[in-house]
Amino acid sequence: MNTHPPLSNIQTRDVEALLHPYTPLHKLRENGPTVIERGKGVYVYDTRGKEYIEGMSGLWCAGLGFGEEELVEAATEQMRTLPYYHLFGGKGMEPAIELAEKLKEIAPVPISKVFFTSSGSEANDTQVKLAWYMNNALGRPKKKKIISRQKAYHGVTIMSASLTGLPYNHMGWDLPVDRVLHTDCPHYYRFGQDGESEAEFTARIVKSLSDLIEREGPDTIAAMIAEPVMGAGGVIVPPAGYYAAVKEVLDAHDIILIDDEVINGFGRTGEWWGCQSLGMTPTTISAAKQMTAAYAPLGAVMVPEDIYQAYVDHSAKIGTFGHGFTYGGHPLGCALGVKAIEIYQRRDIIGHVRKLAPVFAARMDRVAQHPLVGEARYCGLMGGVELVADKATKRPFDPKSGVGPQVARILEGHGAILRAIGDTIALCPPMVITEAELTELFDRLEKGLADAE
């Protein structure tokens, strides 16, 4: 269904010049790109002047919305003082130091050191390299495999994409996945068996994790990586007790738990970190996105003291710690990170998320009643609305039917930008959204669903 008028001049320039990420390339010209010109608060405006509520915070990242003057000022000041510097070879600069100190202060577990990257993918790539480096340092050269999960999303660099458990990140890309193992996705609605309770489902998939480790050999497995709430796999909230049981299995085999907080972190789930909402105890942490409120790219890896000491000992033996990105810890990103965290604290953004979460939940529960909706799941201010062909049997639509993207386009017509992940419509509005704006977003979602029926 084409809901767009003929391409405007700027849309034509767009399709002539850009290779778009995560886009069905063969349909781009037919559908027409939505070219966004400006944003203010939770709203963005396209080049035709149409207003949208940005119900996804861009890509789960613009948590303070658009046009936030305090961030603009912090960025301008940093650009004037020191527009670029780096941390290679023992150089330092205050924005990176200050942000690392802040991260240590708010971290969910004791953290010794912060390593900066430019993105979430680079953070997770770094996590894997660090796990390998650590096990080489500890004299365990065989302990290198990484466990991830079906439907996980950890990024697009070669290793992060290998960790990702989504078909379109693997099909056609020839990834070297031999050191990566994928275990069950903790999604009860979709993968729970007939007559199985949620607790039984949890016990079954944790047993399957344990069996996988035994089969492969615990001495070959370095780490498991997990997003507390799985985001780009369709906003999947694991059952209560899942992470505690997973951690017990990992601890028994000396396998570290890498917590991917790239989407969950900085208030999204109603706590600073998703792991705190989901009862997960991480060993190391990846962060990005809302760390700078998305006003500049930045990622981070946080590690505890014992692991850091292993790097130091290894460096003493083999020389320079040979890893780092030109823009890792860019002063602009770090200055914005410091300011964003200060705003989260001063304006009590997490308190605001907690206050709005029941309103969000109530509207999601109402959306769940719609005949096209199989499940509407949520945590804090993130949610996923899974569309199904048959509500009673949970039968999904034919994957080729493209129902999710079609509904997302209808929603855009109603002025709501939401993201189709297969047939799940994801919601992740800026955390500063007001109750009235949230109500308007859901009204637009419900109008779109009514049109789609």
Task: Tell me the two tokens of residue 153.
Answer: 């999303």
Q: With binding defined as CB under 6 A, does residue 437 bind ligand PLP?
A: no
- The set of long-range contacts for 99-103, using a CB threshold of 8 Å and a minimum separation of 24, is 99/300, 99/334, 99/337, 99/338, 99/341, 102/337, 102/338, 102/341, 103/287, 103/300, 103/302, 103/341
Sign of CA dihedral 352, 353, 354, 357: positive
Among 22-30, 82-90, 119-127, 327-335, the segment contacting ligand PLP (CB under 6 A)? 119-127
Give the residue with the Cβ less far from ligand PLP, 327 or 442.
327
Contacting ligand PLP within 352-381 (CB under 6 A): none
> Stretches 27-35, 65-73, 113-121, 188-196: which one binds ligand PLP (CB under 6 A)?
113-121
Interface stretch with ligand PLP, choices 24-32, 70-78, 212-220, 257-265 (CB under 6 A): 257-265
Q: Which two tokens stand for residue 224?
A: 């498991």
Residue type for position 16: E
Question: What 3-state DSSP class applies to 309?
Answer: helix
The token pair at 380 is 């804090």
Taking the C-alpha atoms of residue 130 and residue 144, their distance in angstroms, rounded to an integer, is 10
State residue 392 phi and psi, 5-degree precision: -70, -40
Binding string to ligand PLP for residues 205 to 234, with x set by CB under 6 A, is what? ----------------------x---xx--
384 in contact with ligand PLP (CB under 6 A):
no
- Around 313, how many Cα atoms within 13 Å sit in the side-chain half-sphere? 13
Nearest to 336 by CA among 42, 73, 54, 40: 73
The residue number with the shortest CB distance to ligand PLP is: 120
Establish if 120 lies at the interface with ligand PLP (CB under 6 A).
yes
Cβ-contact 335, 95 below 8 angstroms: yes
Q: Which of 96, 161, 262, 408 binds ligand PLP (CB under 6 A)?
A: 262
Closest CA to 353 of 344, 362, 340: 344
Select 260 or 437, whichever has its Cβ closest to ligand PLP. Answer: 260
256, 285, 288, 426: which one binds ligand PLP (CB under 6 A)? 288
* Closest CB to ligand PLP among residues 33, 58: 58
Closest CB to ligand PLP among residues 128, 262: 262
CB of 149 to ligand PLP, least distance (A): 11
Contact pattern from residue 29 through residue 68 relative to ligand PLP, giving x for each residue in contact according to CB under 6 A and a dash for the rest: ------------------------------x---------
Contact indicator for 262, 164 with CB cutoff of 8 Å: no
Candidates 14, 54, 184, 260; binder of ligand PLP (CB under 6 A) is 260
Residue in 124, 277, 292, 406 binding ligand PLP, rule: CB under 6 A:
124
In this chain, which stretch among 8-16, 150-158, 417-425, 429-437 interacts with ligand PLP, using CB under 6 A?
A: 150-158
What single-letter DSSP state applies at residue 238?
P
The residues in 154-183 that bind ligand PLP, with binding defined as CB under 6 A, are 154-155
Q: Is 28 exposed, middle or buried (0-12, 13-18, 19+ CB in 10 A)?
A: middle
**Least Å from the CB of residue 346 to ligand PLP:** 26
**Cβ atoms of residues 29 and 12 within 8 Å:** no
# of chain residues touching ligand PLP (CB under 6 A): 15
CB of 153 to ligand PLP, least distance (A): 5
By CB under 6 A, name the binding residues for ligand PLP. 59, 119-121, 124, 153-155, 227, 231-232, 260, 262-263, 288
